[in-house]
Amino acid sequence: MSGKTIKKVLYRIKHYWGYLAISVIMAMITVASTLYVPIIIGDAIDFIIDRGNVDFAAITDCLIKVGIVVAVTALSQWIMNVCNNKITYHVTRDIRDEAMERIAHLPLNYIDTRSYGDIVSRVIADVDTFAEGLLMGFTQFFSGVMTIIGTLVFMLSINVKITLVVVLITPVSFLVASFIAKKTYSMFKLQSEARGEQTALIDEMIGGQKVVLAYNHSDEAIEKFDEINERLSKYSLRAIFFSSITNPSTRFVNSLVYAGVAVTGAITAIGGGITIGQLSCFLSYANQYTKPFNEISGVITELQNALACAARIFELIEEQPEVPEAENAVVLENIDGTVELEKVYFSYVPEKKLIEDFNLKVKKGQRVAIVGPTGCGKTTVINLLMRFYDVNSGSIKVSDVDIRDLTRHSLRAGYGMVLQETWLKSGTIRDNITMGKPDATEEEIIAAAKASHAHGFIKRLPKGYDTEIGEDGGSLSQGQKQLLCIARVMLCKPPMLILDEATSSIDTRTELKIQNAFAKLMEGRTSFIVAHRLSTIQSADIILVMKDGHIIEQGNHDTLLRQGGFYKNLYESQFAG
């Protein structure tokens, strides 16, 4: 599992192999020159022997060398840092872009059934943690490994026996570290689970805060929050504490190594095996050799965490996208507006049948009204027409072409859709109106806004059409938001219309005026209208009365009234008060 994840990460790093190569080369230079400095200084110290016995010329040579090597080290270190930064942030940017790309093409079914908070936290928090782990890995892992190799070589060049002491004791620190890492992994997992649970709660309660306030539910929300917070705190404390033991423990092992080197080194020195300068150099190597072991053990925990996060992102990126378009998918240019549904069967979950054997033929320019009690499948029909969902069996044809043989874009461009649930994106009013036609002229925009009776209130906003609206429309009223959604459609004038309770939040007077504009727009355009207000559907050519996924009545207003069925009941209840 994690092997696969590593492979995926490496695959994405591959694009930046140039930076990677530079980084590795710079790491080698850095390590080599960092290790070389103690040798020169050791030499210099050896020239300081005793009173009146100091070779200043030789020392000067050594110190100049030190200066040059230090300059090289600093430069290569900085270049390495910059490269590592580049690689890390480019990789995370790429992964985020990939994730977004996938989100844009996920089947609606996926989005409808997941909590937004979870998807968002994958794109934001998980990628962040991953980036941190990756950066740390790059900066410390490479130079760590190289330091180990480098110091080994240098130490061997000075004295084999003492080197053996170092090499034999050091792996103990690895054992200690991996023992602790194993113990802490489960703590980290518990911690991130609790964190996820808490994020979901925050997302929900802050997103729905107006209701929370209206129902004095704050105390309960806080109580629930605290319960999770308490658990999170417990797991965090354990995770942090146990993982932080790693460092002192391995450092302890290092101190033992240091003491070992001091003993063997000093005894060897008495026997004249090495010089004092070499011993001092050795001691500093012993320090440098063991340090990367600490760091690597730290990096390993961090990387484990990073990989766990990466796995969650890849899970999203690799999610099955919408059924791909047929290779020879047609771009439908002249949509004439005929729509035909033939033996359509559809349900969201196999166990719960919804739409069964749905047949409908709509001629060009006809108005189809869909009515029925809530939950009868009206919105589902729209999901199918727009191909947000694919039919289970049967077919839907537009201009005599099965919509599965069309490109999604050309199909959806054929429809203008206004939904009951108004959705605006953060940006200016203008951005929101021109969604369907970004190159619209100022006149067109104003004309569309006037037709949808939004011009009046827009004009009164502080900056008119350039007023920024916040997330989810900010402080605009529900009705104003709906007017903007209508203006959006009025502007792009598509050949077919879908109006799902398009005017539910608008007052009837304005609605009446908009209806006129709609009527003009609908002329010659096929339209599907879902509405409760029977006045708005009386003039439809076909009225579909739906119940439990079936069409129970079909006809125009007059024939349906005469039938005296379900429709008649609905109609009369409007006037019953």
Partner 1 sequence: MKMIWKYLKDYKKECVFAPLFKMLEAIFELFVPLVVSSIIDKGIGGGDQNYIIKMCMLLITLAVIGLVCAITAQFFSAKAAVGCATGMRHSLFAHIQGLSYTEIDTIGSSTLITRMTSDINQVQNGVNLVLRLFLRSPFIVFGAMIMAFTIDVQAALVFVAAIPVLAVIVFGIMMITRPLYKKVQAGLDKILLVTRENLTGVRVIRAFNKEEEEIERFEKANEELNGLQKFVGSISGLMNPLTYVVVNVSIIALIWLGAVRVDAGTLTTGAVIALYNYMSQILVELIKLANLIVSVTKALACANRIDGVFAIESSMEDGKVKADDSVKADIPAVEFRNVALKYANAAEDSVTGVTFKVMKGQTVGIIGGTGSGKSTLVSMIPRFYDATGGQVLIDGRDVKEYTLESLRDKVAVVLQKAQLFKGSIRDNIKWGKPDATDEEIMEALEVAQAKEFVVKKDGVLDSFVEQGGKNLSGGQRQRLTIARAVVKKPDILILDDSASALDYATDAALRKSIREMTPSPTLFIVSQRASSLKFADIIVVLDDGEVAGIGTHDELLAACEVYQEIYYSQYKKGE
d(CA 383, CA 378): 9
The pair phi, psi for residue 416, each rounded to 5°, is -110, 130
* Cα→Cα distances 179→120, 175, 183, 291, Å: 34, 6, 7, 18
Q: Which of residues 388-407 bind partner 1 (CB under 8 A)?
A: 388
Least Å distance between CB 410 and partner 1? Answer: 9
Among 61, 204, 402, 405, binds partner 1 (CB under 8 A): 204
| CB closer to partner 1 out of 153 and 259 | 259
Does residue 273 contact residue 104 with C-beta atoms inside 8 Å?
no
Among 21, 71, 168, 175, binds partner 1 (CB under 8 A): 71
197 binds partner 1 (CB under 8 A): no
Binding residues for partner 1, how many (CB under 8 A)? 181
148 binds partner 1 (CB under 8 A): no
Least Å distance between CB 469 and partner 1? Answer: 11
- At position 537, the amino acid (one-letter code) is I
Least Å distance between CB 543 and partner 1? Answer: 14
464 binds partner 1 (CB under 8 A): no
Among 23, 139, 305, 527, binds partner 1 (CB under 8 A): 139
Q: Which residues contact 422 (CB under 8 A, 6 or more apart)?
A: 473, 478, 481, 482, 484, 485, 505
Does residue 12 contact residue 130 with C-beta atoms inside 8 Å?
no
Q: Which two tokens stand for residue 384?
A: 């199918």
Q: Is 337 exposed, middle or buried (0-12, 13-18, 19+ CB in 10 A)?
A: buried
Q: State the binding string over 478-497 for partner 1 (x if CB under 8 A, else -).
A: xxx-xx-x--x---x-----
57 binds partner 1 (CB under 8 A): no
Lay out the sheet containing 496-500: strands in order across: 415-418, 496-500, 526-530, 367-371, 542-547, 550-555
Q: Is 230 exposed, middle or buried (0-12, 13-18, 19+ CB in 10 A)?
A: exposed
Helices 171-207 and 160-169 sit at what angle, rounded to 10 degrees?
A: 40
Least Å distance between CB 3 and partner 1? Answer: 28
Least Å distance between CB 128 and partner 1? Answer: 7
Q: Which residues contact 513 (CB under 8 A, 6 or more apart)?
A: 453
Q: Which of residues 487-546 bind partner 1 (CB under 8 A)?
A: 488, 492, 501, 504-512, 532-535
> Which position has the token pair 């050896």?
46
Among 24, 28, 37, 167, binds partner 1 (CB under 8 A): 37
Q: State the binding string over 420-459 for partner 1 (x if CB under 8 A, else -).
A: xx-x-xx--------xx-x--------------x---x--
Nearest to 337, CA basis, from 369, 311, 362, 368: 362
> Which position has the token pair 């965490």?
305
320 binds partner 1 (CB under 8 A): no
Among 3, 10, 216, 439, binds partner 1 (CB under 8 A): 216
Q: Which of residues 233-292 bind partner 1 (CB under 8 A)?
A: 233, 236-237, 240-241, 244-245, 247-249, 251-252, 255-256, 258-260, 262-263, 266-267, 269-270, 276, 279-280, 283-284, 287, 291
Among 153, 213, 326, 331, binds partner 1 (CB under 8 A): 213
120 binds partner 1 (CB under 8 A): yes
Q: Which of residues 167-196 bind partner 1 (CB under 8 A)?
A: 195
| CB closer to partner 1 out of 342 and 390 | 390
d(CA 62, CA 81): 28
